[in-house]
Amino acid sequence: MTVRTRILILLSAVAALAAVGLASVLHASARADRRDRPQAGGPQVTSGTVSLTGHGRMVFRNMAWGPHRDELTSVPAAGPAGPRTASGVKCLRFYAASGTGVCLQAVHGPVSDTYRALLLDARLRTRHHYDVPGIPSRARVSPTGHFAAWTAFVGGDSYAGTNFSTRTAIVDTRTGVLIPTLEAFRIVRDGHPYRAADANFWGVTFAGDDRTFYATLATGGHTYLVRGDLRARTVTTLHANVECPSLSPDGTRVAYKKRVAGLSKDAPWRLYVLDLRTMHETPLAEPRSVDDQAVWKDPRTLVYALPGDYGADLYEIPANGSGHPHRISPAAVSPAYLP
């Protein structure tokens, strides 16, 4: 084959490959345009005022296609599938309590995205913001609104590696003082001080005393429910195989996802509720794998997200193991109930 032939083959291949590549980019960007238009049969979304003190309402990230996609939206808690009021504030993850909100959002840079956490007041105005070192995954605010926590997946630790770790931060919303990583806390495992380079924390949930929190600790291939103490800066393991705990409003039970042996590796989790006094585990009636930190709508009901047509849908289920799951709101994620 002469050099000329080879160059000709290469050039025609480049033309074909470029056409395929360009077509895929154009296809994906056309889809982007479609997503900016509301889909038929989807929830009705209109601009309006969203307040974090709006009693009896649920605030969440709206994932329905249209101009208000990804915005914080509110609906009456009693009618979560009804018309939505959109705030104009875009978040990937969100939570709120007592008039304080935490919004984890992407900042689109010229060559890559970065992430930040916004602390919002009751009128969704930013009071503080913090860098988040990776892709946001969990967010919580303490019942008093005095503390907020978030978890991010940190990649890029290794060149072309596939290993991920998590980093969980807690901030005092009154002073703005940040604990950048829970890994700075002392760990007590099974009654003994424990240190590990591979310690990862995620999924903080706060008690009402502004001192106690619960979270997941992963180390040595196991996950634990830990109880944390913000003043003593310690975490103590309580129970094994607990991820993404969510403390009930009365502080007596923790809802969580448990890795159940024998299930597929793609969908290994089932929802459970742990009674903190008896350490008795109750499986919930959701037969699917749930990869979310559930939210207590009230002392008897849990709400969580499952993958849906437009990203995620919200479901609710009784917290005592009875009943059936049912979908309460399509194209929605990260709900917070304003009592």
Where does this chain bind other proteins (CB under 8 A)? 1, 6, 9-10, 13-14, 17-18, 20-21, 24-25, 27-29, 31-32, 35, 92, 108, 111-114, 131-135, 137, 153-166, 180, 195-198, 200, 218, 221, 264-267, 291, 307, 311-312
In the complex, the smallest distance separating the C-beta of residue 156 from other proteins, rounded to whole angstroms, is 5
Cα–Cα distance for residue pair 87/71, rounded to 1 Å: 6
Closest CB to other proteins among residues 106, 207:
106
Cα–Cα distance for residue pair 109/114, rounded to 1 Å: 7
In the complex, the smallest distance separating the C-beta of residue 334 from other proteins, rounded to whole angstroms, is 12
In the complex, the smallest distance separating the C-beta of residue 54 from other proteins, rounded to whole angstroms, is 28
Kindly report the backbone phi and psi dihedral angles of residue 185, in degrees, each rounded to the nearest multiple of 5, phi listed first: -80, 150
In the complex, the smallest distance separating the C-beta of residue 257 from other proteins, rounded to whole angstroms, is 10
Contact (Cβ atoms closer than 8 angstroms) between residue 296 and residue 248: yes
Residue type at position 45: V
Cα–Cα distance for residue pair 236/200, rounded to 1 Å: 14
Residue 157 tokens, joined? 């630790």
Closest CB to other proteins among residues 72, 77:
72
Closest CB to other proteins among residues 154, 276:
154
Please write down the HEC assignment for all residues of 29-88.
Answer: HHHHHHHCCCCCCCCCEEECCCCCCCCCEEEEEECCCCCCCCEEEEEECCCCCCCEEEEE
Torsion of CA 224, 194, 150, 158, to 10 degrees: -100
Closest CB to other proteins among residues 163, 278:
163
In the complex, the smallest distance separating the C-beta of residue 21 from other proteins, rounded to whole angstroms, is 4
Closest CB to other proteins among residues 30, 279:
30
Residue type at position 41: G
Number of Cβ atoms within 10 Å of the Cβ of 240: 11
In the complex, the smallest distance separating the C-beta of residue 290 from other proteins, rounded to whole angstroms, is 11
In the complex, the smallest distance separating the C-beta of residue 32 from other proteins, rounded to whole angstroms, is 4
In the complex, the smallest distance separating the C-beta of residue 113 from other proteins, rounded to whole angstroms, is 7
Closest CB to other proteins among residues 145, 325:
325
User: Which residue(s) pair with 102 in the sheet?
Assistant: 95, 119
Closest CB to other proteins among residues 77, 303:
303
| Contact residues for 39 (Cβ-Cβ < 8 A; gap 6+) | 64, 65, 66, 310
Nearest to 133 by CA among 107, 108, 152: 152
Cα–Cα distance for residue pair 51/310, rounded to 1 Å: 25
Residue 151 tokens, joined? 């978890």
Contact (Cβ atoms closer than 8 angstroms) between residue 51 and residue 123: yes
Element (H, E) at 73: strand 71-76
Closest CB to other proteins among residues 250, 266:
266
